[in-house]
Amino acid sequence: MGFLEKIFGKSPEKEQNKMENVKVAIIYYSSTGTNYKMAKWAEEGLKDTGAEVKVLKVPELAPKEAIESNDAWKAHLEETKDVPEVTLDDLEWADAYIFSIPTRFGNLPGQVKQFLDTTGGLWFNGKLANKVVSAMSSASNAHGGQEQTILSLYTTMFHWGAIVASPGYTDESIFAAGGNPYGTSVTVGQDGKMQENVEPAVKHQAKRTATVAEWVKNGNR
């Protein structure tokens, strides 16, 4: 019996074959590519699970001059121009949301907050209740506010009545990624390189979120 099974009685991996009717929206905002990469790893983590997955970007709102003056930002927007923008219909469609967002002064990027602030109608009609969510983040410094960013996002999720499926310490990969139990987070240097090995933790988090969504949707048999 493995580590997870001893603690929780079942392993997420064994749940995968039940995920056929689980829909997952991986929603990210990224200026320079880190969170896009994490979103793509989350997508890879769900490959072969049977879950239906969409990777969606939060619309850019920054003024053109700000983007034009930053080569990495400009290049990233060009590279991802074909990624569909998240819509309210996507939120209604999905059973689970996995967010990946950078830290901005220890908080959410304005672009993400603006999108969340368009969800009032869905919330009012109870359409966001019981969605299963988890979040990931990045910042330039190891203690630059990643945890606070994730928790700030979760505050809105709590208002939605969503069910937060934080990773906790449910897999060894979380320790190698820096041990953030709220959601996978990474430190990204000025050179754009990630400093911790977070790919396995991202994939674990994605599978766990989809697994919990499956339990909520179909009952934890």
Cβ distance to ligand FMN smaller for residue 138 or 180: 138
The CB-of-44 to ligand FMN minimum distance in angstroms stands at 17
Cβ distance to ligand FMN smaller for residue 101 or 128: 101
Residue nearest to ligand FMN (CB): 144
What is the per-residue burial (b if ≥16 Cβ within 10 Å, else e) of 176-214?
ebbebebbbbbbbeeeeebebebbbbbbbbbbbbbbbbb
Residues that bind ligand FMN (CB under 6 A): 30-35, 102-106, 138-141, 144-145, 188
Rounded Cα distance, 64 and 80, in Å: 16
The CB-of-139 to ligand FMN minimum distance in angstroms stands at 3
Cβ distance to ligand FMN smaller for residue 163 or 186: 186
Cβ distance to ligand FMN smaller for residue 48 or 191: 191
The CB-of-193 to ligand FMN minimum distance in angstroms stands at 11
Cβ distance to ligand FMN smaller for residue 106 or 168: 106
74, HSE (Cβ side, Cα atoms, 13 Å): 8
The CB-of-145 to ligand FMN minimum distance in angstroms stands at 4
Query: Phi then psi for 186, rounded to 5 degrees?
Result: -135, 155
The CB-of-29 to ligand FMN minimum distance in angstroms stands at 7
Token pair, residue 143, equals 């203690």
